[in-house]
A and B are shown apart, each in its own frame.
Chain A
Amino acid sequence: MRVGTTSYTNTMLDEFSLLKQQQLNLQNQVATGLRVQAPSDDPGAMETTLDDLSSQATQQQYSSNISTVQAQANSIYSVLQSLQTISTRAGEIATSAGSSTSSQADLNNYASEVTSLIQEAAQVVNTQDPATGQYLFGGTNSGQPPFTVATDGSGNVTGVTYNGNTSVNQTAVAPGVTVAADVPGANTTGSGAHGLITDSRTGADLFNHLIALQNDLKSGNTSAISGADGKNLQKDQDNLTYQVAYNGNVQTRLNTASTQATSQSNSLTSQISNASGADLVQTMTELTKTQTAYQAALQSSASIMQLSILNFLP
């Protein structure tokens, strides 16, 4: 077949251009570590990668949510420990004071101590979340102190009022999974989250039981102290034990969710890399091969182009 002079040079130029373009693409893959950068590089892989990036960002958000709720759960646990100490001491006072050997002076001392315990408990249950300033035990009515204490002229506590509600916020920790660490201060509805201080299901009513104990001590009603007061305080202790177990359960669920979120995120990194990442070793090999082919094409073209009949004419 006849070969025109320009068709030969044009073909060579096209081949050089193609090899240069291939080198450029491979070099770009090496520098970015990405096989796919634009939708047209591989539409299917691009769609998969965008979905995976979105899922990964969401997993990271879940991790952040979990950290926030874990901090809340830890704050709640500290309060539970303090309340358990208060409740246990109140129970000891009821046991000691209920025995016939205590004098009224002893009972008055016990009454003062119970008054202090009530005020200490009221302070503890009005704890705020250090991160947001919101009150921990007011349910979702968290902008104001959940408990207010009323006292008489002598400093005795006459009543404690709950200002919150019984709702708690759910927090997303995984797709379709929520956790509530919050505990309302009181719940007398019989459903929903158990109240911390007052709960109709368990019969707990810590403040009123402590006030009753305070008043029975002041009036010397030892039969009530050893009878109803003791039994009621036991209900309060059982309720707090329930709350500690619930808190423990929440923390366990949060730890599991945290592990899952991290694991999912790592798995997605691997998926993203498989879909759109460049295998460095393979890419470098291809780049080397292409560079070699380019050099060979340049060299052979240079030597062939120099040959023509003009070299041999006198």
Chain B
Amino acid sequence: MQAQMTGVEVSGQNLANVNTTGYTRQTVDIQTSPDLSTVIGPEGTGANVTAIQQAVNTLLNIQIQTQQSAGGYWNAQQSALQNAQTSLGEFLNGTASTSSSTTGNSTTDTGLSGQLTSLFNAFQAVATSPASVSARQELINQAQTLASTFNQVDSQINATRTTLNTSLNNDVNSANTLLSGIADLNKQISAAEFSGGTPNDLLDEREKDLENLSQLTNIQTSTGTNGAVDVSIGGQSLVSGSQVLDTMQTYDAGGGQLLVQTKTGGVNLTLTGGSIQGTIDARDGELATMQKNINTLASTLITQVNVVHSGGYSLTGTTGANFFNGSDASTITVNQSLADNPSLIQASGTSTATGDNSVALQLANLASVAQSGLNNQTFGNSFDETVAGLGDALQTANNQASNQAAVSNMLTTQRSSTSGVNIDEEMTNLMGFQRAYEASAQLVNTVNQMMQTVIALKT
């Protein structure tokens, strides 16, 4: 009866935890009790419970840990690059309208690409009407809008970098907490196994911690003594049995790079997989490239425009002034004296003819000049290529994250087929244990009645 009761309790435990994430279903191992020797031969003594075991597939668990690292890496990349795409601010706007058989729409773009074109078109307008005050004012407006957008994009990229570094610190702290948790569980599991028995719930909890840690970074595990699991990260042993040998911390590697090292040992860690490395790779890879390209674009624009403009003459005959001030995307501004008095824009190529437009025409033609500082591309094409590069990286991250999610689902489903609780199955087992208990109870009742019959014989 006790054996069947244990079976009922285990089924009850499984049913109670049907929706618990990371729970591994337990099975009760009932075996025949040892025989008793009698004069007529060995006689059975019933059944007892020898163990309550987990239905676990260790190989699958390790595969899932590896999968979590890959998933964590690509999810972090995806998130970081989505932030980068938002920082860049280059999107298409449109409103659908039906006309004939295809969609007619007025598509516009919101960012630097359109504003670069507007700048050069404004130079064109001044070249067409060099003495027109309104054309000059419009040029100033477009140039100020462009400069302001450069400043904003650079600022937002920096804000994204800061957010990613904060996220990196948080992930490292979470990893340290998990390492400490795993060491603690190792201690409890070892104590339980030493005194006999298998602490299934503690094993589930440790497995969950290991998977959460795998999401943050790729880990290497090995089985220690008394059921402990030792954990290494980046080749450095961090947890051995119940001891946390070392933890992780971030450090400034120079050039705005925040990387990871061990805290006590000061060993720089080369991480693979996981959201920590995903964040680092996005930050130092595509985000850094994008910022560098935009700064190069701004500085080349400033230099090339100023070279042409400074040699021109304004409506009042002045010369030598720059059109843009600053040196890169964060500092680019329009020369304030030109903004205050657009007549000072130096559109003429000669001091003796204020109506001349040759410098304005040369400035407008810069739009189609291949710039050696931009890999022999025009300003517009260079920026469009930067946009496409980011788009490519994010598209890849999206696809990889999606693929990893599909693989992860498949592995989880596979694990669930071994370790997951099925309500129908548990109810069926429960009924089996209940019937067996009833049968054993009936046997006790029968033996009791027989004993009473024997006692009644005396009286």
Contact = CB atoms under 8 A, between A and B. Distances in A.
Given A38-B391, A142-B355, A273-B102, A53 B422 contact: no
B424 A169 contact: no
A259 B118 CA distance: 22
B114 A57 contact: yes
B456 interface: no
A14 interface: yes
Interface stretch (B58-66, B295-303, B412-420): B412-420
Best-surrounded residue of B348, B357, B388 (most CB of chain A within 10 A): B388
A280 B131 contact: no
Query: Which interface class (under 10, 10 to 19, 20 to 34, 35 or more) fits B?
Result: 35 or more
Interface string A208-235: 0000000000000000000000000000
Query: Which interface class (under 10, 10 to 19, 20 to 34, 35 or more) fits A?
Result: 35 or more
A280 B103 contact: yes
A170 B362 CA distance: 11
Contacts of B358: 169
B385 A47 contact: yes
A31 B117 CA distance: 27
B398 A40 contact: yes
Contact of A172 (B90, B91, B127, B422): B127
Nearest to B431: A313
B105 A277 contact: yes
A34 B107 CA distance: 8
B96 A33 contact: yes
A116 interface: no
Contacts of B417: 1-4, 7
B117 A54 contact: yes
B397 to A, nearest CB: 8
A27 to B, nearest CB: 11
Interface in B75-106: 81-82, 85, 88, 90-98, 101-105
B131 A143 contact: yes
A88 interface: no
B124 A5 contact: no
Nearest to B82: A40
B321 to A, nearest CB: 20
B94 A58 contact: no
B8 to A, nearest CB: 15
Nearest to B419: A4
Contacts of B97: 33
Nearest to A142: B355
A68 B381 contact: no
A36 interface: yes
Contacts of B18: 5-6
Contacts of A33: 94-97, 103, 105
A260 interface: no
A31 B95 CA distance: 7
A62 B88 CA distance: 29
Nearest to B428: A309
B107 A53 contact: yes
B428 to A, nearest CB: 7
Do most interface residues of chain B lie in helix, strand or loop, or is the interface mixed?
helix
B395 interface: yes
B357 A169 contact: yes
A91 interface: no
A68 B130 CA distance: 12
B104 A273 contact: yes
A171 B420 CA distance: 77
A6 B19 contact: yes
A34 B104 CA distance: 10
A47 B395 CA distance: 14
Contacts of A292: none
Interface string A46-89: 11011101100110111011001100000000000000000000
A274 to B, nearest CB: 8
Given A34-B92, A39-B85, A140-B353, A132 B132 contact: yes
Given A140-B356, A143-B355, A167-B353, A4 B93 contact: no
B384 A50 contact: yes
Given A39-B394, A57-B117, A143-B354, A313 B380 contact: no
A131 B98 CA distance: 39
Interface string A271-314: 01100111111000000000000000000000000001110010
Contacts of B387: 39, 43, 46-47, 50
A39 B128 contact: no
A308 B423 CA distance: 8
A22 interface: no
Interface string B125-139: 101111110000000
Contacts of B104: 269, 273
B388 A32 contact: no
Interface of A: 1-7, 10-11, 14, 30-34, 36-44, 46-47, 49-51, 53-54, 57-58, 60-62, 64-65, 68-69, 131-134, 138-143, 165, 167, 169-172, 175-176, 178, 269, 272-273, 276-281, 308-310, 313
5 contacts: A14-B409, A34-B105, A41-B395, A140-B350, A308-B423
What 5 A-B pairs are tightest by C-beta distance, nearest first?
A4-B420, A39-B391, A33-B96, A142-B355, A43-B391
Interface of B: 18-19, 81-82, 85, 88, 90-98, 101-105, 107-109, 113-114, 116-118, 120-121, 124-125, 127-132, 315, 348, 350, 352-358, 361, 364-365, 367-368, 380-381, 384-385, 387-392, 394-395, 398, 409, 412-413, 416-425, 427-428
Given A65-B125, A310-B423, 8 more contacts: A5-B423, A36-B92, A38-B85, A39-B390, A46-B391, A49-B92, A50-B109, A141-B352
